[in-house]
Chain A
Amino acid sequence: MPKKGNLFIFGARKKCNMRKLKYQSEIAQLIAKGGKMPDLCFPNNNLAYRFVFRDSANNHLTVYVMQPQRALKDKAVVEGYALSCFETKEAADKMRQRLALKFKAIGDSICCGNLDNADGLITEPSETSRHFELFEFENCDLSDKFKIIETYGKI
């Protein structure tokens, strides 16, 4: 995963001439209401793993875009417009074990793909879960490059 020295601050987008995020306007609205953007960096062609549904044409939708969104009375956060990823398959498998019986919420398969710097910006992976968020650039389409590598099926 990329070094911290490559961090981008959202507010410096104009100076950096950074590409537009897919949900730029929605994120900007949340920031205007007090939301905070996490520190981001380029993925630098690293592999990423995601939970998906094998029979769905609507994988790779963010929390606030998928319908119906699975939300309660939490305040809206910018991460709702990012995609959950894992650094390794082992990390994804471990999380899947913890979320046993919730496969209908998170997915019945795992897919893998290479994230390059044209796809978007990512958060620093969690040391505990190796989970990170991908904030897609506006033309990013993970369905073209992410392929299912294992189907979990029902538990």
Chain B
Amino acid sequence: MEKFEYTGKKSGIDYQSISKVVNLMYFDGPLLAYYVGKKGEDYLLYWIDNDELFNRWLIFFTETEAVYKYISGRTTLYNLIQRYCADQIAVVDIDNEIAFHERGVIQKKSLENKYLLQKGSYFDLLDIDCSPYSEDKAICKLSTVKTRKKVKMPV
């Protein structure tokens, strides 16, 4: 898998306590998902690569309203990441036992365009149509999610 230039810092994400809100893209497994932490943090988990042992994910710090904007078609995934996600991104390898292994933190500017989809990538219900989870297909319920307090990004 491609090597990143890490900042040397840790993300501070408590991987044991994050929980799924909804998958935003799914085919034979999740490809993009919205998770929250126990203190109200909002995360986007974005699949980018794999090898024989791990699936590699980028974990973005984001905001509830931004995710809702994406789901409701008011912003693209590209803009969601560029405008509404923190500069620091955790790079995490998940093994076959679904254990999270944080490899490091990168800065958004170091991401290559190949990971960020086309600029016109609006959410489409087709993205989660193959999901076997009823909660993913009931995605419109996210409109009732109350605003969470913004969490200070890791220094």
CA distance A131 to B35 in the complex (A): 26
A-B contact count (CB 8 A): 90
Whether the pair A129, B126 counts as a contact (CB closer than 8 A) is yes
Output the least CB separation between B126 and chain A (Å): 5
B30-71: CB near A (< 8 Å → 1, else 0) gives: 110101000000000101011011110000000000000000
Proximity string of chain B (1-30) to chain A, C-beta cutoff 8 Å, 1 when within and 0 when not: 000000000000000001110010101111
Contact: B50 with A131, CB < 8 Å? no
**Known contacts A128-B125, A128-B129, A129-B129; A68 and B96 CB within 8 A of each other:** yes
Among A40-48, A95-103, A108-116, A134-142, the stretch that binds chain B is: A95-103
Q: Are A101's CB and B30's CB within 8 A?
A: no
Give the docked Cα–Cα distance between A8 and B51 (Å).
Answer: 38
Q: Are A72 and B94 in touch, CB under 8 angstroms?
A: yes
Within 8 Å by CB of A63, from B29, B49, B126, lies: B29
Contact (A70, B132) CB under 8 Å given A95-B126, A128-B125: no
Q: How far is the CA of A79 from the CA of B50 in the complex (A)?
A: 22
Interface contact A72-B50, CB-CB below 8 Å: no
Q: Which B residue sits closest to A131, measured CB to CB?
A: B130
Say yes or no: B127 contacts A98, CB within 8 Å: yes
Residues in B whose Cβ lies below 8 Å from that of A78: 132
Number of interface residues of A (CB under 8 A): 29
Given the complex, which residues of A lie within 8 Å of B118, measured CB to CB? 100
Set B19, B23, B27, B49: member contacting A95, Cβ < 8 A: B27
Q: How near does chain B come to A40, taking the closest CB pair, in angstroms?
A: 14
B9 to chain A, nearest CB (A): 24
B31:A68 contact, CB within 8 angstroms? no
Tell me the smallest distance from the CB of A119 to a CB of chain B, in Å.
19
Interface status of A55 (Cβ within 8 A of chain B): no
Extra A-B contacts (11), CB below 8 Å, given A68-B54, A102-B27, A128-B129? A63-B29, A68-B53, A68-B55, A69-B98, A72-B45, A73-B35, A84-B27, A84-B130, A99-B27, A101-B117, A104-B50
The 8 closest A-B pairs by CB, nearest first: A70-B29, A79-B132, A68-B96, A129-B129, A128-B129, A77-B132, A131-B130, A70-B55
